[in-house]
Amino acid sequence: MVPTRELLPTAEPLSLLRKDGSPVEDSPLAMPDDDVLLELHRRMVVGRRFDTQATALTKQGRLAVYPSSRGQEACEVGAVLALREQDWLFPTYRDCVALVTRGVDSAETLTLLQGGWHLGYDPYVHRVGPQCTPLATNTLHAVGFAHAARLKGEDTAALVLVGDGATSEGDTHEALNFAGVWKAPVVFLVQNNGYAISVPMSKQNAAPSLAHKGIGYGVPSVLVDGNDVAAVYAVVKEAVEAGGPTLIEALTYRIEAHTNADDATRYRTSDEVAAWLDRDPVDRIEAYLTARGLLTPERRAAVAAEAEEFAAGVRAALNTDHEHDPMSLFEHVYATPTRHLREQAALLAEELA
């Protein structure tokens, strides 16, 4: 467990595995059990294959846009697997790997980015809120949900995923303040990948770290190595079990461009990317498990085959065209449609007739 729940984060990010996969001997964190580590590895391999497949489908025109999370798998997989069944996840548009890790169908996960339904899955089935596209709005959703659950006497925590750019939004600060005052059981996980699209950290934050922003709201804060899946799992699990709010900043890196519409070479160098490739989260856990004899060649091959089969399923689902009823535009917005919407729906129905 994390040694203390102090307001101040540590000066250096907490970790369990170095970038070469060797263990950190004096880490205050508890190493997850072997079966958990193997599951973390398996889900990361499948998640990365899903991510590369979605990127390829975007280039083929099957998705309107896709924000890759390659390089951030440790954050998304480690955090989601640390949740209990009754907990809820509030993701952003970049967190598709988190969704499939939570068990959401891959095709339903990509419906938003395909240009179909805004929400392609039932939030109640897997306890996953809608993917947030406007920055930081999901922080308020998570805090309100968690506070309501506590008022109802439910043992439910909320995990909200945000990027570093979202910490500059007012919604994040309102959510942190509310969570601090009401001790709402919310884990704020900031995936600090270094850039808010093309804006570097140096141009949006003057604090020693993003985790330090919890201090002003009385929220305990943790700084963790976001490419160390064992450490991410450990700190999120501890935060969930502790109850109350926690702000976690996970230092990681977005290997691909912001989306397929972005040219990352205009604001970062290839040397910078190469340095982070050397800290790859999948390679790190593989090296550790292999050195301990837990990841055998047979298991590695089985996991790779599972990932390929998963990707084939994604291709099959996304290469199927679906007919959308134009009238569905008016559904699921209001329980009772407004007069203007009823008039617009009638006009569209008349034109379609």
195 in active site: no
Q: Any bridge partners for residue 89, and if so which?
A: 128, 159
Q: Which of 267, 268, 299, 300 is catalytic?
A: 267
**Closest to 164 measured CA to CA, from 186, 134, 194, 139:** 194
Burial class (CB within 10 angstroms; exposed 0-12, middle 13-18, buried 19+) of 346: exposed
Residue 154: how many CB atoms within 10 A of its CB?
Answer: 12
Which helix (DSSP H) or strand (DSSP E) does residue 109 occupy?
helix 106-109
DSSP labels for 250-305?
Answer: EE----S-SSTT--GGGTS-HHHHHHHHTT-HHHHHHHHHHHTT-S-HHHHHHHHH
Clarify whether 48 is annotated catalytic. Answer: no
The Cα–Cα gap between 135 and 51 comes to: 21
Nearest one of 73, 14, 72 to 41, comparing CA atoms: 73
What are the percentages of helix, strand and coil residues in the chain, rounded to 5? 50, 10, 40
Q: Which residue has the tokens 């990010």?
A: 13
- Please say if 254 is a catalytic residue: yes
* Contact between 112 and 128 (Cβ < 8 Å): no
Which is catalytic among the residues 48, 49, 254, 284? Answer: 254
Are residues 91 and 129 in contact, defined by beta-carbon separation less than 8 angstroms? yes
The single residue of 258, 279, 284, 288 carrying the catalytic annotation is 258
Residues serving a catalytic function are: 254, 258, 267
